[in-house]
Amino acid sequence: MSTDSDPTGAVNEDAAHENAGQDVIAVDADDNEERLVNRLDAHTGDGIRHRAFTCLVFDGDGHVLLGQRAPGKRLWDTHWDGTVASHPVQGQTQKEATRQRLEEELGVTPDQYDDLRVTDRFEYKRYYLEEGLEWEVCAVLKCTLDDRTLDPDPEEIAGTMWVPYERLHEHPRWYRQLRLCPWFEIAMRRDF
């Protein structure tokens, strides 16, 4: 991976980030594809609205699996997410992208669930410190694990925690120290 540097020799951290060369799908407010845009461009300045997803993974007892974003993540590092979230690539369905991220980030394979489904979609825009922003049309997917075996990738997931979903929704102050990702909080609020 190459990095850019300024005249003083300092490395440009944005250019060094592993996702800087990737594209995301710019969309209109109705999630219709418009064009491909650079991922870093979509997440800096005023941002570019793009397609994304978040997946909420449950067990049979009504617990949701929270995944803590790894410290190396550029945005919302170390925050707790509703299992996994990412961006589909061009030509990939939300379900295909979700299956891929569940396996890559958590080692969860399709034989551990059989009910992956899209349950909601919403648009939001949130800034993160001085680092950037998310402006997404975000699909919400859900599934229930028959087998709770996990093998998290430490480059993606810093920790996991099973939490009673209704209790988390009803008592957000009890979980304030977790610093939840905004897209997960929106998805949960809309779900109840």
Rounded to two decimals, what is the model's pTM? 0.87
pLDDT at 143 (0 to 100): 98
Structure tokens of 71?
Answer: 């410290």
Annotated active-site residue 155? The verdict is no
Per the listing, tokens 């300024």 go with 6
Q: How far is Cα 57 from Cα 84, in angstroms, rounded to an integer? A: 9
pLDDT at 177 (0 to 100): 92
The rounded mean pLDDT for the chain is: 90
pLDDT at 18 (0 to 100): 57
What are 119-160's pLDDT values in tens digits? 999 999 999 998 899 999 999 999 999 999 999 999 999 999
Intervals of the chain under pLDDT 50: 1-16
From the CA atom positions of the chain, what is the Rg in Å?
A: 17
- Domains along the sequence of the chain with CATH: 13-191 (3.90.79.10)
Nearest to 67 by CA among 96, 101, 99, 95: 101
pLDDT at 51 (0 to 100): 98
* Cross-strand partners of 157: 69
**Catalytic hit among 18, 105, 134, 136:** 136
